[in-house]
Amino acid sequence: MRFVKLDKFVLAIIVTVLMAYLYPDLGKGQSAKVLSTISSIGVALIFFFYGLKLSPKQIGLGLKNWKLHLLIQLSTFIIFPLIVLSVYPFIAQESKTLWLSFLFLAALPSTVSSSVVMVSIAKGNVPSAIFNASISGLIGIIVTPLWIGLFLTQSASDFNLAEVYQKLLLEILAPVVLGLLLHRYLGAFAQKHKKQLTLFDKSIILLIIYKSFSKSFLDGIFDSLSILELFLIMCVVIILFFIIYFLIGFIAKKLNFSLEDRITAQFCGTKKSLVHGTVFSKILFQNAAILGVILLPIMMFHAFQILVTSVIASKHSRRL
């Protein structure tokens, strides 16, 4: 029997937010500039290594199962955002920022590592999981800003979609492409040192989280959120996860997917990448004071998706 382990990265996130609350001054002034420089360089390296680990050959082979791929990508970038968008007319003006944080969560790409690991444990279609989790990040560079741009342009006069894409291309896509071009030479190195690179990725993400939350705490953004409201945010996160999880399962059954493909669709289609979330938020929201609030649902979702998919994957793994 498999037991769910408490994810160390989730604990690290909690500690980082606590540090930002206790020592927010490290995230302002000259320190903030230094942190911004380090995080920008770190982000470029994260996606360079991401490109190094992508195998063009493996991506090409994964194209065959197109129905599964289409369902996963539509779930990630269309169905999930539309669910959040459906409640927009009922949201009060003072809650629009919080609603935007959920739209941001819904529009994010899938996460690579946990999607593949969970599909593997659950005995799903691992090659398709690798393909979809990998390609999702590339699609997200284009699609996520489009969703957010629809609403940021209404409330933020300084939001410039062309400028956002320019930053995404320079800080994310260019390093990914460079990594892909060098895959044949350095791909083996990236795979050999995968654990160290993952640790580097997580360190940069924690740095961005610290900077975002320290600014939010300094500006008193969380003062208006009560414990009850935080609890309700977590409840909405859980409800959203199960709506999309069971909806994908229903569609997969109607399309007569095998159990392996259904597992892959549900695991990859429900995952949201905290890595992309922290990086995209930094570019899309221009280090605004609301960044901590924007990141809140994705951090909660990240913790919950690891917990629940671990339990589900463990249950699937026991079948013959």
Residue 170: pLDDT over 90? no
Among 204-213, 223-232, 246-255, which range has the highest average pLDDT? 246-255
Higher pLDDT, 259 or 64: 259
Dump the DSSP string for 80-101.
HHHHHHTTGGG--GGGHHHHHH
Nearest to 109 by CA among 82, 138, 86, 151: 138
Which pLDDT does position 238 carry in this prediction?
Answer: 96
Q: Residue 92 corresponds to which amino acid?
A: A
Query: Which tokens sit at 209?
Result: 């989280």
- Residue 291's pLDDT band, with cuts at 50, 70 and 90, is confident
The secondary element (H helix, E strand) that includes residue 312 is helix 291-317
Asked if residues 210 and 16 have their Cβ atoms less than 8 Å apart, the reply is yes
When mean pLDDT is compared across 63-67, 203-207, 238-242, 259-263, the lowest value belongs to: 63-67
**Where along the chain do its domains lie?**
8-313
| Second-level CATH architecture of 8-313 | Up-down Bundle (1.20)
- Residue 94's pLDDT band, with cuts at 50, 70 and 90, is confident
Which pLDDT does position 6 carry in this prediction?
Answer: 58
pLDDT in tens, 23-77: 988 777 788 788 888 888 888 898 898 888 877 776 666 567 889 999 999 999 9
Q: What pTM was computed for the model? A: 0.83
Report the alpha-carbon distance of residue 8 to residue 295 in Å, rounded: 19
Q: What proportion of the chain, given as a percentage, has pLDDT over 70?
A: 91
Query: Which tokens sit at 132?
Result: 């979809």
B/e letters for 93-126, b = 16+ CB within 10 Å, e = fewer, are eeeeebbbbbbbbbbbbbbbebbbbbbbbbbbbe
DSSP state of 108: S
